[in-house]
Amino acid sequence: MSDDSTTAPPDDPEQSTAVVPETTRQIVIREVPQGQLEATHFALQEVPVPSLGEGELLVETLAITIGAGQRAGLQGSAGYAGPAEADVVMTGTGVGRVLVSNHDSIEAGAVVMGLTGWTEHAVLNGKRATVVDGAVAPATLLGALGTNGLTAYFGLLDVGQPQSGETVVVSAAGGSVGHIVGQIAKLRGATVVGVAGSDEKCASLIDDLGFDRAVNYKSDDFRAAFKAATPDRIDVYFDNTGGDILGSALFRMNAHGRIVCCGVVSQYDTSTPGPGPRGVPGLLVNNRVRMQGFLVFDYADRFAEARAEISNWLASGELIARTTEFDGLDAAPHAFVDLLAGRTVGTTVVNLAS
Amino acid sequence: MSDDSTTAPPDDPEQSTAVVPETTRQIVIREVPQGQLEATHFALQEVPVPSLGEGELLVETLAITIGAGQRAGLQGSAGYAGPAEADVVMTGTGVGRVLVSNHDSIEAGAVVMGLTGWTEHAVLNGKRATVVDGAVAPATLLGALGTNGLTAYFGLLDVGQPQSGETVVVSAAGGSVGHIVGQIAKLRGATVVGVAGSDEKCASLIDDLGFDRAVNYKSDDFRAAFKAATPDRIDVYFDNTGGDILGSALFRMNAHGRIVCCGVVSQYDTSTPGPGPRGVPGLLVNNRVRMQGFLVFDYADRFAEARAEISNWLASGELIARTTEFDGLDAAPHAFVDLLAGRTVGTTVVNLAS
């Protein structure tokens, strides 16, 4: 927890006398991991709160979210965000309350979402911060209405393009993106099969979230169970894992099927990723399969439209947003390790403010 | 050569007194190859000419074409045409003259294209035979105006969608499909880089067919040369090979690039295909790349439109169709081996009739 506090209540955006602390706590990458990530790869430090430049905001972080894809960002030069470096603040999306604003249209007291990183106070460029509804729980803002929900929405609907009656399979189905993908696919009339890492997760996907079937990829007879769970084969495979699950899906695709390449969590927590799946490109040709990678940021001009539809689904109860929450900045490295080990469900959120 | 002859001249479709031989020669798969294909995997046999059923045509084969993809059809159950079997006539597309017709709208004397197989006389279902212009050389009908040209046309334009100014790379660029892909890409205003298996082929791609650059994948410094040949990286990669060349291309794709999966010749002539390319699916995500397999048969309703445009390009000299021709049915197995060894250029054609 931060050892300072703001006196600005959420309903008083005119307040501009917030107490700005002199220092803040943040988590830096102590060492770029070479093998499996451990909490000791990170270190906590206390630093002076930086002064604000033109157009910038000082934000007290309320909550941050951690995604498996961030592990890819620690793999050196392979990630889309560039190489990982030691001694920099760990990056990530968060929700925070504006303490001081040097931006024309964002006032102190507003709640914003942006790349806060793992820090109790962040300086954000106002142009890159999105003002959000402070009455909505940060976990929802960061999950179903944040990058995870938007990734599920655009990846499934725009890239995967499922049709009513088709079979949609999603891997890491209990995860931050996967559990939303499956539910949106159901809303579009698809038969939905989830792949997850435990029998408990599989049961919950069916019982709580309405998936038609679910398969535990850690079971001994995974391939046979996967085949049995896809009697009409697969029209859309939403891939969050790569690796063996992708390999199995490739052999079950229907003609003109679509594979949505969203993440590669099976290959993140290592410095020696495995070979690509056998059957690429041969099976893509034989079955006329389209395999397409995407990044949600490319859909930024349609985020508002997607958030409106997701909000309606949440309000009506048609979409259930799952989160696993941790408390306090110190818990962030452990949360990240738990996430990569498959011990979290839904969106992983670390709450910073009490 | 066939030891019979038809008396029907091409300009007299009313003629119906063609001499029908009692027997014909054909090449069967003697043994499904387990490793590299050899001519001894095939055997020549002489059999009675079958009688015709309703709607069928008896055709004297004028020429057949052989494509690398047919090697995939001999790999067991992996091919889209089903498992390979011994003691059946080798399949394949050919052009032939109709000797006897039981079909309402195709007359004796007409020249047709269809799945004749490797036989001097074939029985074709009239519904599956396409009447073609007997004045055009069979090699052209089977190459630029046949499956190869249509594959290049739809794969590049519909799947790859190159824009003017973009960089298009094609592998097996001296091959039946590749040499046409590169020329159509030039016609669409792209910068075109070919990958081929010898310095001679590379020089010919540039000097004779107008490619901008070409790289010999057998050279020791292939990766460096490939990088140097794609200074603006790659927007469309038309993949005829899979394997290492696909792996190299994956690392050079621009954001939103397209990989057209047409064939996997690097993996055909073996029973132990290698693993998939490293970087699938990770690099597809990071660079938002679309990788799409296709089969030309899915575009059958647009073949006439494509043939019209290709014919115009051939007539104007904007498109140069390359062929490597062999003579006599007996040469077909050797032609196939030469093709797989990279010793042919353009469309491989075996002429049967003198």
Rounded to whole angstroms, the Cα distance separating B236 from A260 reads 19
Pairing between β-strand B121-125 and β-strand A56-66 as defined by DSSP bridges:
unpaired
Residues of A in contact with B249 (CB under 8 A): none
Please judge whether A293 and B293 are an interchain contact, meaning their C-beta atoms are less than 8 angstroms apart.
no
The residue among A250, A261, A266, A283 with the most chain B CBs within 10 A of its CB, best to mutate, is A261
Q: 3-state DSSP call for residue B40?
A: helix
- Report the alpha-carbon angle B144-B150-B153, nearest 5: 100
The answer to whether residue A304 scores a pLDDT higher than 80 is yes
Query: Has residue A306 got a pLDDT over 90?
Result: yes
Check B284 against A293: CB less than 8 A apart.
yes
| Interhelix angle B178-187/B303-316, nearest 10 degrees | 80
Q: Name chain B contacts of A261, Cβ cutoff 8 Å.
A: 281, 284-285
Question: Is B282 close to A298, i.e. CB distance below 8 A?
Answer: no
pLDDT per residue over B259-272, tens digit each? Answer: 999 998 887 777 67
E-state strands within chain A: 23-29, 42-48, 56-66, 94-101, 111-114, 121-125, 130-132, 167-171, 191-196, 213-216, 234-239, 253-261, 290-293, 323-327, 347-351
Amino acid (1-letter code) at residue A200: E
- Using CA coordinates, name the residue in chain A closest to B73: A286
pLDDT on residue A275: 83
CA distance B234 to A77: 19
At residue B6, the pLDDT reads 40
Give me the mean pLDDT over the A109-138 stretch: 95
Q: Lowest-pLDDT range, A6-20, A332-346, B189-203, B234-248?
A: A6-20
Asked if the model's pLDDT at residue A1 lies above 70, the reply is no
Contacts of B280 in chain A (CB under 8 A): 242, 276-277, 280, 291
Task: State whether B290 and A287 contact (CB < 8 Å).
Answer: no
Q: Helices (DSSP H) in A97-177: which residue ranges?
A: 138-142, 147-154
Q: What is the pLDDT of residues B2-55, one digit of tens each?
A: 334 444 444 444 444 567 899 999 999 998 888 889 999 999 999 999 999 999
Looking at residue A76, its pLDDT comes to 61
Q: How far apart are the first and last CA of chain B?
A: 7
CA–CA gap between residue B10 and residue B265 (Å, rounded): 37
pLDDT (average), residues A24-33? 92
Residues of B in contact with A298 (CB under 8 A): 288
The tally of CA atoms less than 13 A away on the side-chain side of residue A86 is 9
* Range of A2-6, A13-17, A275-279, A321-325 with top mean pLDDT: A321-325
Of the partner residues B283, B287, B291, the one whose CB lies closest to the CB of residue A284: B291
Q: Does residue A281 carry a pLDDT above 50?
A: yes
Closest Cα in chain B to A268: B282
**A268 and A72 Cβ atoms separated by less than 8 Å:** yes
Smallest CA–CA distance, residue B147 to chain A, in Å, is 15
According to the model, what pLDDT value does residue A7 have? 41
Residue A30 has pLDDT above 70, yes or no: yes
Give the percent of chain B with pLDDT over 70: 92
- Nearest Cα of chain A lies from the Cα of B267 at a distance, in angstroms, of 9
Q: Nearest CB to B293: which of A262, A275, A287?
A: A287
Position A85 confidence tier, pLDDT thresholds 50, 70, 90: confident
Query: What is the gyration radius of the CA atoms in chain A, in angstroms?
Result: 21
Q: What integer pLDDT is reported at residue A58 of this predicted model?
A: 97
Alpha-carbon distance of A238 to A182, in angstroms, equals 9
Phi, psi values for residue A7, rounded to 5° = -100, 5
Report chain B residues whose CB lies below 8 A from the CB of A239.
281
Q: Are A353 and A325 in contact (CB under 8 A)?
A: no
Which residue ranges form the domains of chain B, and what is each CATH number?
23-138+322-351 (3.90.180.10), 147-297 (3.40.50.720)
B295·A273 Cβ contact <8 A: no
Find tokens 């038809």 and name the residue.
B6
Q: Is the alpha carbon torsion for A279, A281, A286, A287 positive or negative?
A: positive
* The pLDDT of residue A191: 98
Average of per-residue pLDDT across B169-190: 97
Mean pLDDT, residues B96-110: 97
Across A56-65, B64-73, B146-155, B322-331, least confident range: B64-73
Least CA distance to A273: which residue of chain B?
Answer: B278
Please give the Cα distance from B341 to A78 (Å, whole number): 35
**Which of A31-35, A57-61, B209-213 has the lowest average pLDDT?**
A31-35
CA–CA min distance B99, chain A (Å): 35
Contact A77, A350 (CB under 8 A): no
Taking all residues of chain B, what is their mean pLDDT, rounded to a whole number?
91
| Closest CA relative to residue A296, chosen from A200, A155, A109, A196 | A155
How much is the mean pLDDT over chain A?
91
- d(CA B187, nearest CA chain A) in Å: 26
Q: Which of B79, B281, B292 sits opposite A261 (nearest CB)?
A: B281
* Closest residue in chain B to residue A79, using alpha carbons only: B286
Structure tokens at A278: 């056998």
Of the candidates A42, A132, A58, A48, the residue with the CA atom closest to the CA atom of residue A91: A42
| pLDDT (tens digit per residue) in B211-243 | 999 999 999 999 999 999 999 999 999 999 999
Whether residue B166 has pLDDT greater than 50: yes
Selecting from B275, B285, B287 the residue whose C-beta is nearest the C-beta of A263 gives B285
- Predicted confidence at residue B14, as pLDDT, reads 44
For residue B205, what pLDDT is reported? 98
Contact A261 B79 (CB under 8 A): no
With helix as H, strand as E and coil as C, how does B8-19 read? CCCCCCCCCCCC
Record the tokens describing residue A208, joined without a space: 């709580």
CB-CB neighbors (< 8 A) of A295 in chain B: 285-286, 288
Note the pLDDT tens digit of each residue in A218-265: 999 999 999 999 999 999 999 999 999 999 999 999 999 999 999 988
In this predicted structure, what is the pLDDT of residue A81? 56
pLDDT of residue A120: 97
CB contact under 8 A, B284 and A276: no
pLDDT band for A274, please (50, 70, 90 cuts): confident
Nearest to A287 by CA among B80, B78, B156: B80
